[in-house]
Amino acid sequence: MDTFLIIVNIAVLVLLMVGLFMMQKKHVSFSKRVFTALGLGIIFGYLIHLIYGTTSEVTTGSIDWFNIVGNGYVKLLQMVVMPLVFISIVGAFTKLKLTKNIGKISFLVIGILLGTTAIAAAIGIGSALGFNLDGVHLTEGAAEKARNAQLEERVAGVENMTLPQQIVELIPSNPFQDLTGARPTSTIAVVIFATFVGIAYLGVKRRESEHAESFARIIDTLYSITMRVVTLILRLTPYGILAIISRVAATSDYDAIAKLGKFVIASYVALIIMFIVHLLLLTLAKLSPYKYVKKALPTLTFAFTSRTSAGTLPMTLKTQTKDLGVSEGIANFAGSFGLTIGQNGCAGIYPAMLAVMVAPAAGVDPTSLSFILTLILVVAISSFGVAGVGGGATFAALIVLSVMNLPVAIVGLLISVEPLIDMGRTALNVSGAMTAGVLTSKATGEFETEVYQQPDIVEA
């Protein structure tokens, strides 16, 4: 009987995918297909949850098959992330227009990412204090106990390292190993390696221009091929979102979410306020926040459902260049750096909120100015090297709490609501990267206003 019901659920998913395909054939816009997939996934997943529960064999068996579409899509995106990061950064150096402003562009992108992360930390602190969040009274169930046991080894590695040692850990000793994503800091390591290759190219260009031109043509060719692969994968976005959000809605622990509802609400209030800050920054740059929201929403929706900034990178680059008018080189810098530096949600708001929640247990007054200023500084510095995948926020929180000498067990106590909050955090991370790209492009005069002003999203 269970097998039959699983087949029925699979058949329903296939029918919904056929419906999305028919919408594509009728030339329904990409954004409408994405939001249709999101809505259908929520309804379908919740019905599975309502009828079968989260732990039944029908639910787990159905989700296992759904993951072929959902997880398969995310893996395809992750497949191109490291090659795309490397080629994008090197390609930024090979573009003559960009090399004239390379220092200024790098400074602006990193400065905006770190600056917005500091603001995000302040907002997280304010939200935690405003909602009077207290980590002392959180209970540890079986799942939380198992989670904290898993974190013990990771905590030991973080606690035994000073902040300078953690910074040194970002530097690649074996870039080919980092190209496989072997370490939590692999993405920033690849960025550093690609930057050195780009600087070397500039040196060769001055002395051996013919060799430099040959290298530039190779990089341009590789970039074109890589982006073509990205385009092919992005066309699968509505189907991937449908399967992913169906899984989320079907397997979420709604009782646990209700128990920690205050923390969830406080987190999303902070995330929404920080997103408004992004829009205010764009407004100050004399750009329409409405157009930004309209064009960024499909990308932010995928980031929300997939919970991976790295997996969203191809969409981030496409949205910046094709829809928001950011120059290709700056989009490459902002998108790649945004994976590992200054993630507003995972490395800004989340660690700051947890630090405020556990400070009283360590005998620290979370309202003292010295604590708040120190926490904001630590959060901003620690935001270097946070992995742009699910779990990056945990890594960031462990670093911040250990540097501040605060209890780290709270990280494991929030496991039941972690996926729900991580969805919003990831979307905010991606918005931060795109905002940095738009503002930098505007400041350096490499911004295409007519592209930003166009009403429709460019199809992948």
224 backbone dihedrals φ, ψ, rounded to 5°: -65, -45
* E strand or H helix that includes residue 232: helix 209-234
pLDDT mean over 236-257: 86
447 backbone dihedrals φ, ψ, rounded to 5°: -110, 130
* Best CA proximity match to 128, nearest among 422, 320, 309, 350: 350
- Amino acid identity at 217: R
**What does the alpha-carbon distance between residue 397 and residue 381 come to, in Å, rounded to a whole number?**
13
pTM (2 decimals)?
0.81
Indicate if the pLDDT at residue 85 is higher than 90.
Answer: no
pLDDT mean over 295-303: 91
User: For residue range 27-44, what is the model confidence (pLDDT) as tens digits?
Assistant: 888 878 888 998 999 999
pLDDT mean over 130-143: 64
State the pLDDT confidence band at 115, using cuts at 50, 70 and 90: very high
Instruction: Report the CATH number at residue 419.
Output: 1.10.3860.10
Question: What pLDDT is recorded for position 11?
Answer: 95
User: Which residues neighbour 71 within 8 Å (Cβ) at sequence distance 6 or greater?
Assistant: 244
Buried b or exposed e, range 70-83, using 16+ CB within 10 angstroms: bbebbebbbebbbb
pLDDT mean over 421-431: 92
User: For residue range 160-210, what is the model confidence (pLDDT) as tens digits?
Assistant: 566 677 667 777 888 888 887 777 667 778 888 888 898 898 888 888 888
**What does the alpha-carbon distance between residue 47 and residue 246 come to, in Å, rounded to a whole number?**
9
Q: Give, in order, the Cα–Cα distances in Å from 256 to each of 3, 43, 270, 376, 438.
A: 29, 20, 21, 30, 39
Please check whether residue 323 lies inside any domain of the structure. Answer: yes
Indicate if the pLDDT at residue 137 is higher than 70.
Answer: no
Q: Which residue has the tokens 């562009």?
A: 105
Domain that holds residue 371: 2-453
Share of the chain above pLDDT 70, in %: 87
Indicate if the pLDDT at residue 82 is higher than 50.
Answer: yes
Instruction: Work out the end-to-end distance of the chain between its first and last CA atoms, rounded to an integer number of angstroms.
Output: 42
Indicate if the pLDDT at residue 50 is higher than 50.
Answer: yes
User: For residue range 377-406, what is the model confidence (pLDDT) as tens digits?
Assistant: 988 887 775 654 545 677 777 778 877 888
Beta strand segments in 307-456, E: none
Beta bridge partners of 326: 447
What tokens appear for 336 in the block? 């790649």
Indicate if the pLDDT at residue 293 is higher than 90.
Answer: yes
User: For residue range 302-342, what is the model confidence (pLDDT) as tens digits?
Assistant: 889 888 887 788 889 889 999 999 988 888 888 888 887 87
**What does the alpha-carbon distance between residue 145 and residue 415 come to, in Å, rounded to a whole number?**
10
Are the beta carbons of 247 and 308 closer than 8 angstroms? Answer: no
Please check whether residue 127 lies inside any domain of the structure. Answer: yes
The total of structural domains in the chain comes to 1
Indicate if the pLDDT at residue 144 is higher than 50.
Answer: no
Q: State the DSSP code for 458.
A: P
* Best CA proximity match to 264, nearest among 390, 350, 392: 350
Q: State the DSSP code for 29.
A: -
Question: What pLDDT is recorded for position 372?
Answer: 94
Beta bridge partners of 447: 326
Question: What pLDDT is recorded for position 412?
Answer: 63
Please check whether residue 459 lies inside any domain of the structure. Answer: no
Question: What pLDDT is recorded for position 437?
Answer: 94
Please check whether residue 136 lies inside any domain of the structure. Answer: yes
User: For residue range 247-284, what is the model confidence (pLDDT) as tens digits?
Assistant: 988 988 777 677 778 888 999 999 999 999 999 999 99
Please check whether residue 374 lies inside any domain of the structure. Answer: yes
pLDDT mean over 289-311: 89
Q: Which residue has the tokens 């999303």?
A: 268
**What does the alpha-carbon distance between residue 248 and residue 286 come to, in Å, rounded to a whole number?**
38
Please check whether residue 388 lies inside any domain of the structure. Answer: yes
* Best CA proximity match to 85, nearest among 150, 19, 180, 214: 180
Please check whether residue 460 lies inside any domain of the structure. Answer: no
